[in-house]
Amino acid sequence: MVSIGLPLVRKLRIIASDDPSKKQNGRKGVSRWLWPIGVVGTGVAAAAVVLMRGCWHRKMSWPIRVEGYSYQVCLGCGIKRLFDEATFHGFGPYDYDLRQLIARDRAARIKSLRDAEEEISSAS
């Protein structure tokens, strides 16, 4: 292992502190404020995104079964979403009223059945 020696380290510190590229034309302390201003700006931007977007529904409960339908509840805000047990994924829109979600799903199923019946009757 090679030892540099204390006098050489002192000389390097003196040379580094006298570096003219580090001086900012008499404006001392500007670089000290740049980092905290950036942190505050980032925090304000993040708060604005949360306020505009609201809950991201990242933490959902395990599926709950009611009236032949399964649904999940967001643990952050309480909004509900229907859940397909066959694919083990949530589907459809989010809503706070479970009855409205079930009514939408029933209407969509009835419409798809009618469309399928019309295709069969028009084909024959």
* Within-domain flag for 105: yes
Structural domain including 101 reads 64-123
* Within-domain flag for 70: yes
Q: What is the mean pLDDT of residues 93-113?
A: 95
pLDDT tens-digit series, residues 81-94: 999 999 999 999 99
The DSSP bridge pattern shows strands 64-66 and 89-95 to be: unpaired
* Within-domain flag for 58: no
Q: Is 17 helix (H, G, I), strand (E, B) or coil?
A: helix
**pTM score above 0.85:** no
**Which of 28-37, 48-57, 63-72 shows the lowest per-residue confidence on average (mean pLDDT)?**
28-37
Residues 6+ apart with CB under 8 A from 74: 55, 57, 59, 60, 61, 80, 81, 94
* Within-domain flag for 111: yes
Total count of domains within the chain: 1
- pLDDT, greater one: 56 or 22: 56
Q: Is 44 helix (H, G, I), strand (E, B) or coil?
A: helix
